[in-house]
DNA sequence: CTTCTCATGTAATTCGTTACATGATTCT
DNA sequence: AGAATCATGTAACGAATTACATGAGAAG
C-alpha cells in the first residue's frame, strides 16, 4: 500500500492527463528541477507496480508505434489524494523536504484551496519548531565546531529559514494568511508584501 | 571503490577519533541535522563494508562490555580525501545538495583551506549556472503552471539562491573571496535571512 | 531480580542505479 | 542503407528501511 515518491510523482503527472511511459520519462528529463531519475530502470518498474495495484490502467494507443496509453483511474486518484492529505510530520520536514514540496506541487491538480492552507499551516508549524531546535543547537555548539562544519550548519539553517519564509508567503498567496487560530489579525503587517516578481 | 554517502559520513566521524558503532549511531541520532538514518540496519552493514575494504580497523575495546573500537586507517584516510576532493558537478548540485554540504563539512578535518576555496568556487559556479536555467524556465512557464506548482518551483528557486549567497559568504570567510572576479570589501555583508531577486 | 541501557547484529523487503537488450519507425 | 529516435523492457547490484534477535552488565 505504501508507494514510493517516484510512484506518486508519476501518479500526479498522469493526473494531468493520460500519457505513455516514454512521455512520462521525457517529462522527468526535461523538467529542470529533477530530484528524480528518469532512467527506464526506475520508471517502468514503478509503472508496473502502479498497474499491479490497479491505480492506473493501460491501453494500447493508436498510432504506428508500439505504445501504451496509461491512465489514472479512480482507485489511483483516491490513493493519490490520500497521500497528498497525509499530515506533515517533523520527520518529513527534517528528512524529506523535497517530497513535501512535491506533494504541495501536486495538490493544485486535485485538492481544494483549504487543503493547501492546511498543508501550509502544518508545514509552517513543523518548520518553525525545527528551526528553533537548530538555532538552539547552533548557539550551543557553534564555537566548538570546525570552520567548515559551522558554515555547513549555517547553510542548513538558511535553508530552513527559506522554508519558513516561503510558507508564510505561500499562505498569503493561497488566501490563508490572515484567519485561523491564534493568529491575531489585528496587526496590519501580516499581509505585508515582499519580493513580488514581474 | 564506490561507497555510499553514509559510509563517507561514518568515515568522516571516525576521522575525528576512534569510536564504536554504537557511539557512531548515537552521534547520528543526536545531531539535529539528520539527513541520515541511525538505524542499526544501516550503520552496521555500512561499517562492515568499510572493514571489508580495509578503510577502517576494528579492535576489541577495553572495558567490561562487548565493544569494538573502530579506527580510521591510512587507506581510509586516502579514500576519504579522494571523495572530498571530487569535483563538484552539475549533477551534484541538482540532485545531491545534502551530500555536497556533507563533503564541505568534513573537509575541515583533513583538507587545507585552498581545497575549501576550490570546492566553494566550483560550487558557486555550478549553482549560478543552474540558477540561470531555473530562472529561464520560470519566466517561460510560470504563467502556465497551476498555483501550487508555481509556488513549489519558487521554493526551489529560493533554495538555490540561498546556496548562491552562502557560497559567496563562505568564500569570504575562508579567505578566497578576493581573487578571481567580483569585489571583496572588508565590510561584513551580513546577508541574513533574506534572498531577494532583481 | 527484573528492567533498562549497552552493543551488536540478521532477515525480508523495497527501491534506485547502471547497463544492456530489442524491435519498430522515421529521417537522411 | 544506415543512423537516429521511439518505446518498452530486463538483469545484476547496492543500499536503506523495518523489524526482530541476542546477550551482557548496570541500576533500581
Tell me the per-residue pLDDT of B77-130, one tens digit each, with 9 for 90 and over. 999 999 999 999 999 999 999 999 999 999 998 999 999 999 999 999 999 999
Contact B140, A32 (CB under 8 A): no
For nucleotide C10, give the residue with the nearest CA to its C1'.
B41
Task: With cut-offs at 50, 70 and 90, classify the pLDDT of residue B196.
Answer: very low
Task: State the pTM of this model.
Answer: 0.88
Q: How confident is the model at residue B1 (pLDDT cuts 50, 70, 90)?
A: low
Residue A155: CB atoms within 10 Å: 23
Say what the pLDDT of residue A147 is. Answer: 95
Q: Tally C-beta pairs within 8 A across A and B.
A: 105
Find residues whose C-beta atom lies within 7 angstroms of strand C.
A 2-7, 36-37, 39-42, 45-46, 49, 64-66; B 20-23, 25, 40-41, 44-45, 47-48, 63, 65-68
Regions of chain A with pLDDT less than 70: 1, 179-198
Which nucleotides of chain C have an atom under 7 angstroms from any protein CB? 6-12, 14-21, 23-26
**B94, B142, B155, B193: best to mutate for the A interface, most A CBs within 10 A:** B155
* Residues 6 or more apart whose Cβ sits within 8 Å of residue A85: A111, A115
Q: How confident is the model over B137-156, as a mean pLDDT?
A: 95
**Min Cα–Cα distance to chain B from A46, Å:** 20
A79 vs A145: CA distance, rounded Å: 45
Q: What span, in angstroms and rounded, lies between the C-alpha atoms of A15 and B6?
A: 35
CB A47 within 8 A of CB A56: yes
Is B149–A105 a contact, with Cβ atoms under 8 angstroms apart?
Answer: yes
Residue B2's pLDDT is what? 76
Q: Which residues of B touch A84 (CB under 8 A)?
A: none
**Nearest CA among B77, B70, B81, B18 for reference residue B46:** B70
Three-class SS state of A134: helix
- Rounded CA-CA distance A75/A166 in Å is 33
Q: Which nucleotide is nearest to B43 (CA to C1')?
A: D16
Measured CB to CB, residues of chain B less than 8 Å from chain A are 32-35, 94-95, 101-102, 104-109, 116, 130, 133-134, 137, 146-149, 151-156, 158-159, 162-163, 165-166, 170, 173-174, 193-197
Question: d(Cα B17, Cα B4) in Å, to the nearest integer?
Answer: 21
Give the span between the Cα atoms of A59 and A52, in whole angstroms: 14
Note the CA–C1' distance, A41 to D14, in angstroms: 14
Distance CA A33, CA B88 (A): 18
Residue closest to D9 C1′ by Cα: A44
Please count the other Cβ atoms lying within 10 Å of the Cβ belonging to residue B71. 14
Amino acid at each position: 500500500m505504501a508507494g514510493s515518491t517516484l510512484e506518486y510523482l508519476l501518479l500526479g503527472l498522469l493526473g494531468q492527463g493520460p500519457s505513455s511511459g516514454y512521455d512520462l520519462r521525457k517529462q522527468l528529463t526535461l523538467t529542470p528541477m529533477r530530484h528524480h531519475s528518469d532512467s527506464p530502470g526506475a520508471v517502468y518498474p514503478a509503472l508496473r507496480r502502479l498497474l499491479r495495484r490497479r491505480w492506473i490502467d493501460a491501453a494500447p494507443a493508436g498510432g504506428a508505434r508500439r505504445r501504451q496509453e496509461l491512465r489514472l483511474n479512480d482507485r489511483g486518484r483516491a490513493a493519490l489524494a490520500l497521500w497528498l492529505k497525509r499530515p506533515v510530520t517533523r520527520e518529513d520536514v527534517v528528512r524529506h523536504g523535497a517530497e513535501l514540496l512535491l506533494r504541495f506541487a501536486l495538490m493544485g491538480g486535485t485538492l481544494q484551496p483549504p487543503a493547501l492552507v492546511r498543508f501550509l499551516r502544518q508545514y509552517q508549524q513543523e518548520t518553525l519548531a525545527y528551526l528553533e531546535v537548530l538555532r538552539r543547537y547552533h548557539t550551543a555548539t557553534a564555537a566548538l565546531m570546525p570552520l567548515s562544519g559551522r558554515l555547513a550548519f549555517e547553510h542548513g539553517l538558511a535553508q530552513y529559514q527559506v522554508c519558513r519564509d516561503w510558507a508564510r508567503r505561500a499562505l498569503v498567496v493561497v488566501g490563508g494568511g490572515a484567519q485561523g487560530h491564534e493568529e491575531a489579525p489585528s496587526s496590519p503587517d501580516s499581509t505585508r508584501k515582499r519580493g513580488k516578481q514581474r
